[in-house]
């Protein structure tokens, strides 16, 4: 199946070359699309140089830093327009092990959405502190319960989507970013009745460059989950009331 690896970047000059070379080795038939938010460190220019050297590397450069969710939406649109059948989300900093990608792609032959999960049996978060682990697992539990997601790792950013699944989810209208983007995509997949599989992965912290995560992104995700949950309750109540009126 034609596969596009969407690789969002911002100031990833230290990671772009080893990641691109790893992906070309591990999934040689796939195309890598680097979606760069005009990194001042020259990430996009280095990606173009690599593309000329190793092939099957495309660069989509956006004029300003506009968030992870926007980068993925742009990458998905680029891929769908060109007929790709499987679209991959992966971080450039090696927190997602590219060696696991063939396993996720194989799983996508049977499922609409495949999530590389830290919190299913076999998954792990090496060297995480207890407070960080509790925050992450607590946030995932809250999102799953409030939204009926029935997944263990709704905030995971290592994923494979089938093209038709993205279209059914109306991904273009998703406006959340960061963790919120991943949760909303999971929520929409469930609402659309799509099949979801979780594959265990080890999530390793970056060793080069700076993390883009912030308290604001976590706070946004928690607020959005609460808002979506209230909307879900209102819709459920409205359906119940309509049923009563017709009995």
Contact 224, 184 (CB under 8 A): yes
Per-residue pLDDT band for 27 (boundaries 50, 70, 90) equals very high
Pick the more confident residue, 222 or 75: 75
**Token pair for residue 125?**
């978060």
> Is the pLDDT at 240 greater than 50, yes or no?
no
pLDDT tens by residue, 133-148:
998 898 888 888 888 8
> Is the pLDDT at 244 greater than 70, yes or no?
no
Whole-angstrom Cα distance, residue 178 to residue 91?
12
**Token pair for residue 168?**
């059914």
Overall average pLDDT of the 168-172 stretch: 94
Return the ∠ at Cα 16 (arms to 6 and 178), rounded to 5°.
50
**Token pair for residue 122?**
């076999």
pLDDT tens by residue, 193-237:
999 999 999 999 866 545 444 456 566 667 677 776 776 656 554
Average pLDDT over the chain, rounded to an integer: 89
Mark residue 122 as left, alpha or beta (left: phi above 0; alpha: psi -120 to 50; beta: remaining): left
Whole-angstrom Cα distance, residue 145 to residue 36?
34
Residue 213: per-residue pLDDT? 47
**Token pair for residue 76?**
């998905």
> Is the pLDDT at 176 greater than 50, yes or no?
yes
φ/ψ of residue 238, rounded to 5: -65, -40
Residue 132: per-residue pLDDT? 87
Residue 241: per-residue pLDDT? 47
pTM of the model: 0.86
> Is the pLDDT at 21 greater than 50, yes or no?
yes
Query: Quick one: what percent of the chain has pLDDT higher than 70?
Result: 84
Pick the CATH number of 3-245 from 3.40.50.740, 3.90.550.10, 3.40.50.300, 3.40.50.2000: 3.90.550.10
pLDDT tens by residue, 88-135:
999 999 999 999 999 999 999 999 999 999 999 999 999 899 998 998
Nearest by Cα to 85 from 3, 171, 170: 3
Angle between helices 178-191 and 68-81 (to 10 degrees): 50
Domain positions in the chain: 3-245
């Amino acid at each position: 199946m034609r596969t596009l690896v969407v690789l969002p970047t911002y100031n990833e000059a230290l990671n772009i070359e080893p990641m691109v070379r790893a992906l070309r080795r591990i999934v040689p038939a796939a195309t890598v699309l680097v979606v760069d938010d005009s990194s001042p460190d020259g990430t996009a220019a280095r990606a173009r140089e690599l593309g000329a050297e190793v092939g099957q590397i495309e660069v989509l450069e956006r004029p300003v830093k506009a968030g992870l969710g926007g980068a993925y939406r742009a990458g998905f649109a680029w891929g769908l327009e060109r007929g790709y059948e499987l679209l991959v989300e992966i971080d450039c900093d090696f927190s997602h092990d590219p060696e696991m990608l063939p396993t996720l792609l194989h799983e996508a032959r049977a499922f609409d959405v495949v999530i590389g999960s830290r919190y299913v049996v076999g998954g792990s978060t090496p060297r995480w502190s207890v407070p960080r682990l509790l925050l992450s697992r607590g946030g995932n539990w809250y999102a799953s319960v409030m939204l009926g997601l029935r997944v263990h790792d709704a905030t995971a950013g290592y994923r494979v989507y089938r093209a038709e699944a993205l279209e059914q989810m109306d991904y273009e209208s998703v406006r959340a970013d960061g963790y919120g983007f991943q949760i909303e995509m999971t929520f929409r997949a469930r609402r659309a009745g799509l099949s979801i599989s979780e594959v265990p992965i080890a999530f390793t912290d970056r060793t080069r460059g700076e993390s883009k995560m912030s308290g604001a992104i976590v706070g946004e995700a928690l607020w959005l989950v609460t808002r979506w949950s209230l909307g879900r309750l209102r819709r459920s109540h409205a359906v119940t009331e309509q049923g009563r009126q017709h009995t």
